[in-house]
Amino acid sequence: MASQLEVRDLTVRAGTNVLLDSISCSVRAGELVAVVGRSGSGKTMLTKAITGLLPSGLQATGQILLDGLRLDTLGERQMDAVRGRKIGMLFQQPKRVMNPRMTVRAHLLEAMGATGFRKPKNAEKRIESLLQEVGLSPAAEIARMRPDQLSGGMAQRVMLAIALAADPAYILADEPTSSLDSILKAEILELLRRRQLERGLGILLITHDIASIQHIADRVIVLSDGAIVDQCPTSAMFSAPRHEKTRELLSATASVTREPHEITTHGVLRAEAVGKNYTRRAKGAAALNPTSMSLYAGEVLGVVGRSGSGKSTFARLLAGLERPTHGEITGQTERAKSTGVQIIPQEPFGSFDPALDLRTSLMAAVHRLPESEAAELIERAVARVGLPIRLLDRLPAQCSGGQLQRMAIARALLVQPDVLICDESTSALDSVAQRHILDLLLQLRERMGISLVVISHDMDVIRYVSDRVAVFYAGSLVELKPLAEFLAAPEHPHSEQLVRALDKEFGHSDFALDKAPAV
């Protein structure tokens, strides 16, 4: 019988609340199966159940089998022999998973412990081979690095090397590309698919990015509210989606380019030769080289670039959260004020005090106003972003990611800003929630006349919202032009890469690899 990882009638409960409802699915050796769905649909919960890592307090029933072996009946010590050796894990944010005090070499040695590669001479060859297999060189130099010395793409490649170290038959990949830019995302997915085909691995890929799986997944499982609502070959899902939830997800990822907004000549912010250097006495490479540009009233400026390109540093300078090493930023409105620029953070859960209800958190932004006036202002802002007023009495942990992101926007609106800076504000959201947030921002631009700076590594987000596009590379602004011109004729080599990666994501190139052979 062919090797298979199978889940049968898996149900997970938290008291009377059903988190996973009678889940039945399988992954065969040599097959890549994608699990998609909105945030909170149960995707990550499924991987935790398979690996026996469900949080305490949850009750699970059903069966989980690996080549006929009941994993759900094994004790913790027996599961330790399964994790890594038979089932590898690829995590969403590898730097948070890896020990910051251990080198890459130490992580790989630890991962190889289950396979008997204990002698240093054998281990060193194996480490070098693994790092080269995932496209990292020079291997000896990278093996000596710690996690904080790795870029996002390098860290994800190292995590893949760790997952492959014990030569597992299956890999569970939980959102492995959600924090990567378009170029790195395409590279990691292509690498994952190649390793899967060459090694004959079975891979369960958890993702909310449906567009990226079209040419690499053999089958797709669609989860909604803890239940499987659709399960079919990938080609069938994209050509003739059967379920309403599947159609909703696909609709939210459809490529859309809006009509360009007419850019006025009325500026709201001006950056003049602004730069930032974090090293002592401004020696060494700068985080941001001297940059000059104007932001105009009602404009949406899309800012894109690879990790470490300087785009977030530029955002913090615009928002006044950092002081420039040289140059200056000036407000060009009549009512320029300290609160005129507000920033919406990437992770909404980290931007609210977990011990305070949301009403108290929002009240801090308008605490100088009379209580009744502040309360009315808060409720008006919450209604403006499409949220029910009752959410104000909840703690952050009692809200979804999409709800908290809208609440962060509402808080920013309380001080009536001229400019909203969205720094990767939708990267952690599923495609439907992401499109809702982007539409909300565009509506606020139309109704309130605010300017938006949208920083994203997702080129489809940039294409959907931008009037102009600014490309940062290696700490410098290398291109700035209207969206249509940028997409039609990018000038800088990195800009060309970004546009090509956008085409690849939607199937206009040779990104598709050969499908795995039938098993």
Q: Residue with structure tokens 């989980």?
A: 64
pLDDT of 420-471, one tens digit each? Answer: 999 887 776 777 878 888 888 898 888 888 899 999 888 888 988 999 999 9
Q: What is the mean pLDDT of the chain?
A: 85
Q: Do the strands 288-296 and 267-276 form a parallel or antiparallel pair, or are they unpaired? A: antiparallel
Do 215 and 73 have their domain in common? yes
Residue 196 lies inside a defined structural domain of this protein: no
Do 330 and 450 have their domain in common? yes
Residue 278 lies inside a defined structural domain of this protein: yes
Domain boundary (198, 230, 254) is at: 254
Residue 316 lies inside a defined structural domain of this protein: yes
Do 425 and 503 have their domain in common? yes
CA–CA dist 188, 217 (Å, integer)? 14
Residue 496 lies inside a defined structural domain of this protein: yes
Residue 202 lies inside a defined structural domain of this protein: no
pLDDT of 354-399, one tens digit each? Answer: 899 999 999 998 988 899 999 999 999 898 888 889 999 999 888 8
Query: What is the DSSP secondary-structure string of 183-202?
Result: HHHHHHHHHHHHHHHHHT-E
Could you say which DSSP state residue 260 is in?
A: P
Do 447 and 327 have their domain in common? yes
Q: How many CB atoms lie within 10 A of CB 143?
A: 22
Residue 23 lies inside a defined structural domain of this protein: yes
Query: How many separate domains does the chain show?
Result: 3
Domain boundary (390, 415, 440) is at: 415
Residue 231 belongs to domain with CATH number = 3.40.50.300
Do 298 and 233 have their domain in common? no
Task: Give the predicted TM-score (pTM) of the model.
Answer: 0.75
Please state the φ and ψ torsions of residue 460, each to the nearest 5 degrees.
-70, -35
Do 239 and 287 have their domain in common? no
Do 230 and 328 have their domain in common? no
Do 298 and 387 have their domain in common? no
For residue 63, the enclosing domain spans 1-86+171-178+208-254
Do 267 and 250 have their domain in common? no
Confidence of residue 95 (pLDDT cuts 50, 70, 90): confident
Domain boundary (415, 438, 463) is at: 415
Do 19 and 79 have their domain in common? yes
Do 360 and 494 have their domain in common? no
Do 77 and 7 have their domain in common? yes
